[in-house]
A and B are shown apart, each in its own frame.
Chain A
Amino acid sequence: MSVYLLRRLIQAALVMLAMSIIVFVGVYAIGDPVEILISPDADQAERARAIAALGLDKPLWQQYFSFLGAALQGDLGRSFVFNEPALKLIGQRAPATLELAFGATIMAVIVGLPLGLYAGLRPKSFGAQAIMTGSILGFSLPTFWVGLMLIMVFAVQLGWLPSTGRGETVEILGMRWSFLTWDGLAHMAMPALNLALFKISLVIRLTRAGVRETMLMDYVKFARAKGLSPTRVIGVHVFKNILIPVVTVVGLELGSTIAFSVVTESVFAWPGMGKLIIDSINVLDRPVIVAYLMSIVLMFIIINLVVDLLYSVLDPRVRLESK
């Protein structure tokens, strides 16, 4: 177990290292580093001083190591716009994005699992066909447009939900969270649903496929031959088996949910990391871009690791030692 964990951590470190090279090459070599790292407002003298300070006159590999060294100490540069450390900015915005992504994921499971279960158990019913058609739409509809339509219907026409912002927040551990207040939850409802739409479709399809496959398994028939009630057969024997792929995929999708929240955050003016990165790309605030990319890759790696561990808890056949 610990050997496995250690190996995974080394792997993770290697991926981070590779990503740092890609991001470094992307930002420092493809773009003009002077333009990227020095505020366009700086005058000639400042510019020269900064070039020397940043070591841009040194060979590329030396620059990379100084970049890496600073990064390891948590220094990914300062934002030109906010004049604050880029990582700090990301950290401030992260809770908003995380609660949105988690909210969407929970919503996807709560809505998608029962619908998929129904569609899998009664595949020929009208309800199941409607659900499956809906899931195709969920895959096809561009997120941002659905978001706009949600605003149009629920905020403008019906006036039920607020259209933008996070609403009231509560501070815990120095971070602001919306999901602990009613107002915050009301603000979160539409963005979370918007972000969840794609995942709901995904969970429906996975669950349906899983149910249909599992129902044909001998062990389900054997469970029925043991005289178990249909509730127990479906609720325990089928459900526990389909939970494994669903949890795995939903978990792995959490990373992509966080990434895709860029779109939802822009639609609903949700002040998270996604909104920050779009603004930063628009004004070429590249230290923030670098910080965003690095931290999202780190999140990815952590999520993958957690999902792997969770998978082994759920599925007794996976033994970590043997990996």
Chain B
Amino acid sequence: MEPSIPATAAPPTIQVRNLQTRFFTRAGVVPAVNDVSFNVGRGKVLGLVGESGSGKTVTGFSIMRLVDEPGRITGGEILFDGRDLVKASEEEMRQLRGNRIAMIFQDPMMTLNPVLRIDTQMIETMQAHTKISREDARQRARDTLGMVGIPSPDERLKAYPHQFSGGMRQRVAIAIALLHRPELIVADEPTTALDVTIQGQILAEVQKLAATTGTSIVWITHDLSVVAGLADDIAVMYAGEIAEYGAVSNVLDHPLHPYTHGLLGSVPSRNKRGEPLRQIPGTTPSLLSLPPGCPFQTRCPRAADVCRQVPPMAEILPAHEARCFRPHLENAEAA
């Protein structure tokens, strides 16, 4: 189905439609990403929120076409610049990766190759996509490092990753992602492994970059507070599906899906002092043995017989979709 939001004038940078990615493991077929659809407009930030195992990272890798065996994209479309990335050849994808679509990984300690110098790892990225002399490439690497706030980039280029702190390494990774001014960045929890202060700095810089360069960002995170300050739109994932999708203010202020509702209730800052934290009962179900119908029904306080049917994604409020038969409409009415 066609996602109706966001209603911006310019065509979206990327449109994901009914994406389906499965893992064919020995224990069975795992539907890691199921019928996922969203758009990201130019210069917009989409927050892709979910617990671990909800399929948000696999969605990110699916966009990059970097899902490894035994996983495979088994259906849907990823439209980027008028073509479907699902059908693109490996070489076409290679030319897009790191060039027009870049990715930042979760753990900065692991993303840079420990035995290669920073300059090597930056220059090779440029030389993979453009004919550029080593000197020019070095110049650009230096400028980009400066841009992401790395002091004395000249010296730092000659260093190895282990000589950097975690925050600095993530800045280097971000610099590598920015080298070609990509139209889209897939950021997979890039601040989770960092200290809160550094997290704040990086968030602010990313926001500034998105605004000034027009880069679209898919920001994958489990942290609702990060999304609240950063994203324009938000998609909440549960058990491989998008449970709720809409503009950030709509979703956070009037959550429709009981899962989003529960998620917001379990964030301390949103509760009044002294009030006990609410929590979602039970645990995330195994994707191998999902109940028929709504995957959230076993933990849902509002579950009813109807929930044994598969709920469709529906635009329940304007610019606000949810995959639920019994959404929290009272929130919207109260507002």
Contacts and interface: CB of A to CB of B under 8 A. Distances in A.
Direct contact between A and B judged by beta carbons closer than 8 A: yes
Interface of A: 217-229, 232, 236-237, 240-241, 244, 314-317
Contacts of B103: 222, 225
Given A221-B105, A232-B128, A226 B112 contact: no
Interface of B: 64, 66, 68, 94-99, 102-103, 105-107, 110-117, 124-125, 128-129, 160, 162, 173, 176
A20 B99 CA distance: 63
A229 B64 CA distance: 15
Contact of A219 (B66, B111, B117, B128): B111
24 contacts: A218-B106, A218-B107, A219-B110, A219-B111, A219-B113, A221-B66, A221-B68, A222-B103, A222-B173, A224-B66, A225-B98, A225-B102, A226-B97, A226-B128, A227-B95, A227-B99, A228-B124, A228-B125, A229-B94, A240-B113, A244-B115, A316-B114, A316-B160, A316-B162
Given A219-B112, A224-B97, A316-B115, 7 more contacts: A218-B111, A225-B97, A227-B96, A228-B94, A229-B94, A241-B113, A316-B117
Contacts of B113: 219-220, 223, 237, 240-241
Given A225-B64, A225-B66, A228-B125, A219 B97 contact: no
B97 A237 contact: no
Contacts of A317: 114-115, 160, 162
Nearest to B61: A221
Nearest to B102: A225
A224 B91 CA distance: 12
A232 B125 CA distance: 11
B105 A229 contact: no
A222 B94 contact: no
A227 B94 contact: yes
Contacts of B162: 316-317
Contacts of A217: 110
> For chain A, what secondary structure do more than half of its interface residues adopt (helix, strand, loop), or is it mixed?
helix
B97 to A, nearest CB: 4
A232 B116 CA distance: 13
B187 to A, nearest CB: 11
A223 B127 CA distance: 13
7 shortest interchain CB distances as A-B pairs? A227-B98, A226-B98, A227-B97, A218-B110, A316-B160, A225-B103, A222-B111
Contact of B105 (A222, A228, A244): A222
A222 B66 CA distance: 10
Contact of A227 (B105, B125, B160): B125
Give the most central of A223, A225, A229, A244: most B CB within 10 Å: A225
A221 B113 CA distance: 10
B128 A228 contact: yes
Contacts of B95: 227
A240 B173 CA distance: 20
Contacts of A244: 115
B98 A237 contact: no
Contacts of B160: 316-317
B184 to A, nearest CB: 12
Contacts of A219: 110-114
Nearest to A244: B115
Contact of B116 (A218, A224, A225, A237): A237
Contacts of A314: 115
B190 to A, nearest CB: 12
B116 A236 contact: yes
Give the most central of A220, A227, A229, A315: most B CB within 10 Å: A227
A228 B103 CA distance: 13
A222 B129 contact: no
Nearest to A217: B110
B2 to A, nearest CB: 29
Contacts of B111: 218-219, 222
A218 B113 CA distance: 9
B136 to A, nearest CB: 18
B105 A218 contact: yes
Contacts of A240: 113, 115-116
B109 to A, nearest CB: 9
B297 to A, nearest CB: 35
A219 B68 CA distance: 14
